[in-house]
Amino acid sequence: MVTMVADTPNYVLMEGNRRIGPIIFPLLSGIECLPIYGFSDKGPYDKFCANSQLALTPYPLVKGYLQRQHDIRGEGLKLVVIDAAGPRDPLLYAATMEAVLDAQENRTTHVTVTHHLTFDQEADAYRVEEACA
């Protein structure tokens, strides 16, 4: 069994006062999916910004935000897409916000990837799938 890991994200990109994330297809399960882009370092978010036409600003991915998202009731899937190269990257890797919060609190350098997002050019949106171990 192979487990995929990614660098723990420490930053998000914001457009104005809103954290941005990829546009996704509704999940087959019917639950809401709330993804945001997260970045481990300056290099990955600079690359994303170079491939995007949005006016984006890096901002620390703070524990308080992750904790509030975790505390909100509901069955939504809350993901952090890690180190995307741009808003139409063919394949993205994501971890749950809870896993990212745990990694930040425990000061671990890596987080387990739990989901893949595959870009559908025709629909201009991502399909979310659980990562296979």
Q: Stretch 7-12: mean pLDDT, rounded? A: 93
- pLDDT confidence band for 2 (50 / 70 / 90): low
- Structure pTM? 0.90
Contacts 24+ apart (CB under 8 A), 71-77: 74/32, 75/31, 75/32, 76/31, 76/32, 76/33, 76/34, 77/27, 77/31, 77/32, 77/33, 77/34, 77/115, 77/128
What is the per-residue pLDDT for 73? Answer: 63
Calculate the dihedral angle through the C-alpha atoms of 41, 50, 20, 100, rounding to the nearest 10 degrees: -20
If you count them, how many residues does the chain have? 133
pLDDT digits (tens, 9 = 90+) for 113-126: 999 999 999 999 99
Pick the residue with more confidence: 116 or 61?
116
Residue 65, domain extent: 5-130
Domain count, the chain: 1
pLDDT digits (tens, 9 = 90+) for 62-98: 888 888 887 776 678 999 999 999 999 999 999 999 9
Q: Stretch 105-117: mean pLDDT, rounded? A: 94
pLDDT digits (tens, 9 = 90+) for 14-56: 888 889 999 999 887 788 888 999 999 999 999 999 998 888 8
